[in-house]
Amino acid sequence: MDVLPAKRSKSISVPAERKKHILSRHPEVAEVWDKIGETLREPDEIRASRYDDKVWIYYRLYPRRKKYLSVVVRIYDGDGLLLTSYVTDRIKMGKRI
Average pLDDT for 72-85 = 93
Residue 80 has pLDDT above 80, yes or no: yes
Q: What is the pLDDT of residue 49?
A: 95
65 pLDDT tier (thresholds 50, 70, 90): confident
Domains in the chain: boundaries: 2-88
- Dump pLDDT digits (tens) for 6-63: 998 889 999 999 999 999 999 999 999 999 999 999 999 999 999 999 999 999 999 8
> d(Cα 48, Cα 56) in Å, to the nearest integer?
4
In this structure, are residues 59 and 47 in contact, taking their beta carbons and an 8 Å threshold? yes
**Angle at alpha carbon of residue 51, lines to 48 and 57, rounded to 5°:** 30
Question: 87 pairs with which residues across the strands?
Answer: 69
Q: What is the pLDDT of residue 78?
A: 79
> d(Cα 70, Cα 25) in Å, to the nearest integer?
14
For residue 4, CA distances in Å to 9, 50, 91 come to 10, 25, 22
In this structure, are residues 96 and 47 in contact, taking their beta carbons and an 8 Å threshold? yes
Ramachandran angles phi, psi of 48, nearest 5°: -85, 145
Q: What is the pLDDT of residue 89?
A: 94
In this structure, are residues 53 and 45 in contact, taking their beta carbons and an 8 Å threshold? no
Q: What is the pLDDT of residue 48?
A: 96
